[in-house]
Chains A and B, each alone.
Chain A
Amino acid sequence: GAVVSQHPSWVICKSGTSVKIECRSLDFQATTMFWYRQFPKQSLMLMATSNEGSKATYEQGVEKDKFLINHASLTLSTLTVTSAHPEDSSFYICSARLVGQETQYFGPGTRLLVL
């Protein structure tokens, strides 16, 4: 149980385009999902916390207009990187928290390369 999927697993795009990443909880409902960014050999950097049906809470320094987060249902959250630039290239990982539990289950990650 507690499986989280992400799609796509990797994406290459041109500078200036927008990229959407989906995060799904496959066998449970997640009222809260998290989006992280991770650079090589570095730890997870929390970007935002997404609650179903409400606006995401962004961490300091994360541009909400650049990284659009939508949590439309209890099993799906999306992250859209708008007008992507090479510096947005990174590994993006989502996680979901089960209702009533204090732990997070992570997706497999999405590797984004912006040319």
Chain B
Amino acid sequence: QKEVEQDPGPLSVPEGAIVSLNCTYSNSAFQYFMWYRQYSRKGPELLMYTYSSGNKEDGRFTAQVDKSSKYISLFIRDSQPSDSATYLCAMSVNQFYFGTGTSLTVIP
């Protein structure tokens, strides 16, 4: 079993839709949770960084961590074509583990 599981998609939504991206994990020791956005041919860009359970909001982005279910989510409100990218979840405890990434396309 992989440490981190992420549906690779692809996910295609119309502009303005709410997008939900998810990852599950198996190691209950993970404490730090991150979401990265990667545009084609670019390095990943840190979007959200949370510690332990709960929600964190930043503009149109909300990161949610449910440690009891070992489940994290990233919500994108009012999605824009510029949000089209691959989204990687990551988590760590001494060592980093990345999901495989979900490819998102927002159609104008």
In whole Å, how far is B74's beta carbon from the nearest beta carbon of chain A? 15
Take A108-B43, A109-B41 as given contacts and tell me if A103 and B34 are in contact as well, using a CB distance cutoff of 8 Å: yes
- The answer for the CA separation of A43 and B98 in the assembled complex, in Å, is 8
Q: Does A111 contact B (CB under 8 A)?
A: yes
- A70-84, CB < 8 A from B: none
Nearest A residue (CB) for B98? A44
Q: Does A28 contact B (CB under 8 A)?
A: no
In whole Å, how far is B98's beta carbon from the nearest beta carbon of chain A? 5
List 15 additional contacts besides A95-B44, A106-B36, A106-B45; criterion CB under 8 Å. Answer: A34-B96, A41-B103, A43-B88, A43-B98, A44-B88, A93-B43, A102-B51, A103-B32, A103-B34, A103-B49, A106-B44, A107-B43, A108-B42, A109-B41, A109-B43
